[in-house]
């Protein structure tokens, strides 16, 4: 299926990807980004991007966790996107991030309407993990040659890798904030122990 195109890096195993084992210990959560993880050893374009995407993954992990049908149906107005629709958009953004980090095209159009909430959440987190995996094996500054590529039928458009930051990554952070706000409105606030500054939950 189209939404699985980013899975070409699944066989990569790196210590940096052990986010699922990090965090509070007592959690039975198996998805990645329970916490951000340890600091990189050095500052490079790739490690900074890894940290940024891991921070997004951590925020999304907890903002999207344990949503109820009432949460998913919520929309602040008739014209606004619902929480469920926001999750679909976030999944599309996450695959764009993963594909750009792997120098793979993003095939359009996309339709995630048949995916369950659990599948949307799992695949979004997996896509962000794939992005981290791809960046983690690149030589320093090698990501400069990557592009953000969109393919619709026979038409292809390419953009410099810079657009990944001000486009999909920033957009995803914006929409994760909406998830936090929406679920607070529906009476199911995010775990109060989440500490986005430290990148791990309070004990």
Q: Rounded to an integer, what distance in angstroms lies between the CA atom of residue 201 and that of residue 117?
A: 24
pLDDT tens-digit readout, 99-145? 999 999 999 888 898 999 999 999 999 999 999 999 999 989 989 89
According to the model, what pLDDT value does residue 108 have? 87
Q: Hey, where are the domains in the chain? A: 2-185
According to the model, what pLDDT value does residue 110 have? 85
Q: What is the pTM of this model?
A: 0.86
Neighbours of 15 (CB within 10 A): 8
According to the model, what pLDDT value does residue 28 have? 53
Pairing of strands 106-108, 147-152: parallel
The residue ranges of the chain whose pLDDT is under 50 are 1-27
- Domain 2-185 classified CATH 1.20.120.450? yes
Task: Read off the tokens for 174.
Answer: 């914006």
- Are 107 and 157 within 8 A, CB to CB? no
End-to-end CA distance of the chain: 40
Pairing of strands 155-160, 147-152: antiparallel
């Amino acid at each position: 299926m189209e939404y699985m195109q980013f899975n070409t890096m699944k066989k990569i195993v790196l210590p940096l990807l052990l986010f699922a084992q990090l965090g509070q210990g007592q959690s039975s959560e198996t998805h990645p980004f329970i916490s951000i993880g340890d600091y990189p050893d050095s500052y490079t374009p790739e490690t900074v991007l890894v940290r940024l995407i891991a921070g997004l993954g951590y925020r999304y992990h907890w903002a999207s966790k344990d949503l109820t049908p009432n949460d998913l149906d919520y929309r602040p107005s008739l014209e606004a996107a619902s929480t469920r629709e926001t999750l679909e958009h976030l999944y599309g953004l996450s695959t764009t991030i993963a594909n750009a980090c792997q120098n793979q095209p993003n095939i359009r159009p996309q339709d995630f309407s048949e995916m369950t909430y659990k599948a949307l959440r799992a695949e979004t987190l997996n896509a962000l993990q794939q992005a981290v995996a791809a960046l983690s094996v690149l030589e320093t500054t090698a990501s400069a040659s990557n592009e953000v590529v969109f393919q619709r039928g026979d038409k292809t458009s390419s953009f410099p890798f810079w657009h990944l930051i001000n486009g999909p990554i920033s957009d995803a952070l914006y929409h994760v904030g909406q998830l936090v706000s929406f679920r607070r409105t529906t009476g199911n606030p995010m775990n109060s122990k989440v500490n986005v500054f430290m990148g791990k939950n309070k004990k």
